[in-house]
C-alpha cells in the first residue's frame, strides 16, 4: 500500500493534533484534587490575587471567616491576639485617597522566616505554602522579626476550642496557612476568598500559579499586578492589584 502526498499530510496532521491534545489532558489531570495518600508536589504553587479596589472599607468578612475556619479566638487584647489576616488602610497624604487591603502571609518563594528559623519549624511545603511546624517551634519569634509583612503572630495565651484540623498552642508562632486543610481536601478556595465572594466584593482570588489555565494565572498574565515589597525579591505567592 502506497501513501500519496495528500494521505501523508492527513496522517501527519492527525498525529500533531494528538500530540497537542495530550498536554491538555495532562492539565486536566493535574487540576484534580490529590487523594489523602498523595503528598503535596511542586506541580502546584498556591497563591492569592487580591484586588484592593474591590476591598470595601469597614468590611471584615475575610478576617472573621479566617478566625472561624481556623479556630482563632480573641482574648480582647488586640496587642497580643493572634492575627492571621488583617485589614490595612492606606491613605495618600497628598490627595487623601484611602485604600483598604487584606494582608496575610505572602507565602514567599524565598521566605525570610524559613531562613532564620533555628529549629526548622518554619518551612515551605512543596506546593509553596509556608507553614510553622508547631511540634518543632520553640517560640523564639525570630521569624516574626524577619517577616517584612508582619504576618506572623505568637500565641501568648492558653488556647481552647481549636479545630481538629487546625491545632494551635501557647508558646508557638503561627500565621496564615492558606487554609492548608482546605487545599489538601481539594476545596480550591480559602475561607477568606469564600467570605469575600459571599459579601459580593470578590477582592480575593485563590488559585494555582503553576496552572496556566487557572483563573488566577490568566488574570496575572493579562492584568497588571504587584508584589508587596517587590524590592526584596521574595517572589510572593500573594499578589496585589489596584494599589
Partner 1 sequence: MRTVKLLHPLASLVLAAGLLLTGVSVFAHDNEAPATSASGRVPMPVRTIEKGEHCVEPLEVMRRDHMKLILHQRDMTMHEGIRTSKHSLKNCVDCHADSKTGSVLGKDGFCESCHHYAAVKIDCFECHSSVREASAAVATPPSTVRALSNTAVPQMTNETAKGKKP
Should residue 170 be labelled a site residue for partner 1 when binding is judged by CB under 8 A? yes
Should residue 218 be labelled a site residue for partner 1 when binding is judged by CB under 8 A? no
Closest distance to partner 1 from the beta carbon of 40 (Å): 4
Show the site string, 172-201: x = touches partner 1 by CB under 8 A, - = not.
Answer: x-------x--xx-----------------
Closest distance to partner 1 from the beta carbon of 180 (Å): 7
Distance CA 50, CA 205 (A): 6
- Report the residue number, 48 or 131, with the smaller CB distance to partner 1: 131
Q: Show the cell assigned to 129.
A: 505554602
Should residue 34 be labelled a site residue for partner 1 when binding is judged by CB under 8 A? yes
Closest distance to partner 1 from the beta carbon of 167 (Å): 4
Q: Which of 176, 106, 183, 115 minimizes the C-alpha distance to 143? A: 115
According to CB under 8 A, which one of 37, 94, 96, 231 is a site residue for partner 1?
37
- Report the residue number, 162 or 189, with the smaller CB distance to partner 1: 162
- Report the residue number, 42 or 98, with the smaller CB distance to partner 1: 42
Closest distance to partner 1 from the beta carbon of 165 (Å): 7
Contact predicate 62/100, CB 8 Å: no
- Report the residue number, 164 or 221, with the smaller CB distance to partner 1: 164
Contact predicate 52/203, CB 8 Å: yes
- Report the residue number, 170 or 233, with the smaller CB distance to partner 1: 170
Radius of gyration of the chain (CA): 22
Instruction: Give percent helix, percent strand, percent coil of the chain, each to the nearest 5.
Output: 30, 15, 50
Distance CA 124, CA 132 (A): 9
Distance CA 117, CA 101 (A): 28
Distance CA 162, CA 124 (A): 23
Should residue 126 be labelled a site residue for partner 1 when binding is judged by CB under 8 A? yes
Closest distance to partner 1 from the beta carbon of 128 (Å): 12
3-state SS of 191-211 is HHHHHHHHCCCCCEEEEECCC
Distance CA 86, CA 79 (A): 13
Show the site string, 128-167: x = touches partner 1 by CB under 8 A, - = not.
Answer: ---x-xxx----------------------xx-xxxxx-x
Residues that bind partner 1 (CB under 8 A): 34, 36-40, 123, 125-127, 131, 133-135, 158-159, 161-165, 167-170, 172, 180, 183-184
Amino acid at each position: 500500500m502506497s501513501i500519496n502526498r495528500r494521505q501523508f499530510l492527513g496522517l501527519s496532521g492527525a498525529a500533531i493534533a494528538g500530540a497537542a491534545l495530550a498536554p491538555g489532558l495532562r492539565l486536566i489531570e493535574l487540576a484534580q484534587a490529590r487523594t489523602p495518600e498523595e503528598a503535596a508536589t511542586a506541580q502546584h504553587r498556591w497563591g492569592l490575587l487580591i484586588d484592593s479596589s474591590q476591598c470595601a472599607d469597614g468590611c471584615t468578612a475575610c478576617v472573621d471567616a479566617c478566625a472561624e475556619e481556623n479556630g482563632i479566638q480573641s482574648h480582647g487584647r488586640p496587642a497580643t491576639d493572634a492575627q492571621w489576616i488583617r485589614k490595612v488602610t492606606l491613605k495618600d497624604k497628598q490627595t487623601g485617597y484611602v485604600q483598604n487591603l487584606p494582608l496575610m502571609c505572602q507565602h514567599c518563594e524565598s521566605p525570610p522566616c524559613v531562613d532564620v528559623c533555628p529549629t526548622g519549624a518554619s518551612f515551605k511545603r512543596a506546593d509553596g505554602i509556608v507553614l510553622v511546624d508547631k511540634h518543632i517551634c520553640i517560640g523564639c519569634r525570630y521569624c516574626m522579626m524577619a517577616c517584612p509583612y508582619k504576618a506572623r503572630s505568637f500565641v501568648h495565651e492558653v488556647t481552647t476550642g481549636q479545630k481538629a484540623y487546625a491545632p494551635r498552642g501557647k508558646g508557638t508562632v503561627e500565621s496564615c496557612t492558606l487554609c492548608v486543610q482546605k487545599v489538601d481536601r481539594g476545596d480550591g478556595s480559602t475561607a477568606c476568598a469564600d467570605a469575600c465572594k459571599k459579601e459580593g466584593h470578590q477582592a480575593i482570588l485563590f488559585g494555582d500559579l503553576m496552572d496556566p489555565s487557572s483563573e488566577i494565572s490568566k488574570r496575572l498574565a493579562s492584568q497588571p499586578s504587584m508584589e508587596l515589597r517587590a524590592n526584596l525579591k521574595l517572589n510572593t505567592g500573594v499578589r496585589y492589584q489596584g494599589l
